[in-house]
Amino acid sequence: MTQDSPVREKLRPDELARRSARLLGENDIVVAGDPGSGQALVANIVHELGFEYLDPYVESPDERDGAAQAVETQLEYYRQRLAATSERDRDGVAGASGAAGAAGATGGPDAKRFIKTHFYPEVFADSAVNSAILVVRDPRDTIYSSYKWFSSFGDSWIPDAADMIGKLTYPDFLDRVRLGDGEPSIPGWARFYRSWLEAAPEFSKFAVVRFEDLKSHPVGAITAMLAALGLTVTPEVVAQAADRSSFKAMRAREDAASAGEGESTKNARIMRRGQVGEWREWIGEGDLAERFAHPALTATAARFGYEATPTQ
């Protein structure tokens, strides 16, 4: 089987991702984040830096040699919308335009590969993974972005989620139990990030990357991320990766890739707005503001520099 040949086994995306976790090695770098935190942005940056990026919901490491292979799932269209996965499908090779400038990005025994996850750190306890990135975004924006994503793509992700498409209100979504931890969105966000912060000392390399920093000063944020991981990339390649990962550039690529899709997904977007502080448009001073004043959320958010209080 070649690297770009689709694996024929049909699995639910979360089942596929869990299987992939146990096949990771010491050169894999986990990119952990709650849904809506900005992992698509990090994926594109990593790809443009020249490193391989594995999306475990549409790809899987080969049981024999660990090489990433496309997998047939209900999320086929998702893979084609992002440069991080679609270009490997097309070319059958890892890396992108920046590969020449990234140390260890072009293969060999020391090549580094990044892999997205929404799982808790204990899922990787039995793997050889020793490096991780924690992607964090203001929880009010993260959870709202997650709601918008599931409201558009939920039926491809959760077998019993047909009722979510165009019907689920935001308060209903906040009450809905999440996959993976059995908690509603707000306490679930806090538990997820608290668990990763507590697990940080178990990794030899650990970087926290804030979505807002990637938006306000991308070159500096990318450079800091690479330094924390012990990776070296030329400044020219970093600048190019930042430019090619702007919202405008990524949205244009997704629009082109989704042009031929069917009615169910053609108007849905992974790159919906990419906005910092969108929560100010909807939170108000009533029930939603009170919900996001949850003690566990505000305490955890403060550890990342967010003041998630009703008056902020």
Q: Does residue 2 lie in a domain region? A: no
- CA angle 227–34–127, rounded 5-degree value: 65
Average pLDDT for the chain: 77
The secondary element (H helix, E strand) that includes residue 114 is: strand 113-117
Residue 63 has pLDDT above 90, yes or no: no
Range with the lowest mean pLDDT among 257-266, 271-280, 299-308?
A: 257-266
Q: CB 16: neighbour CB atoms within 10 A?
A: 20
Distances in Å between the Cα of 160 and the Cα atoms of 17, 167, 179, 211, 248 are: 19, 14, 12, 31, 34
How much is the average pLDDT of 207-236? 96
Q: Does residue 255 lie in a domain region? A: yes
What's the pLDDT tens digit per position in 116-160? Answer: 898 999 988 888 899 999 999 999 999 998 888 777 665 555 555
Residue 279 has pLDDT above 60, yes or no: yes
Give bridge partners of residue 71 from the DSSP assignment: 7
209: domain CATH number is 3.40.50.300
The residue among 160 and 252 whose pLDDT is bigger is: 252
| β-strands 52-54, 113-117 pairing | parallel
The Cα–Cα gap between 161 and 152 comes to 11
- Residue 20's pLDDT band (boundaries 50, 70, 90)? confident
Residue 86 has pLDDT above 80, yes or no: no
φ and ψ of 186, to 5 deg = -70, -55
State which residues form the domain around 149.
13-302
- Residue 55's pLDDT band (boundaries 50, 70, 90)? confident
The Cα–Cα gap between 79 and 75 comes to 7
Q: Does residue 146 lie in a domain region? A: yes
Q: Does residue 156 lie in a domain region? A: yes
The residue among 295 and 250 whose pLDDT is bigger is: 295
Q: Does residue 154 lie in a domain region? A: yes
The Cα–Cα gap between 212 and 28 comes to 25
Q: Does residue 8 lie in a domain region? A: no
Give bridge partners of residue 59 from the DSSP assignment: 70
Cα of 136 vs its chain's centroid, Å = 10
Residue 85 has pLDDT above 90, yes or no: no
Q: Does residue 295 lie in a domain region? A: yes
* pTM of structure: 0.79
Q: Does residue 307 lie in a domain region? A: no
Number of structural domains (the chain) is: 1
Q: CB 311: neighbour CB atoms within 10 A?
A: 7
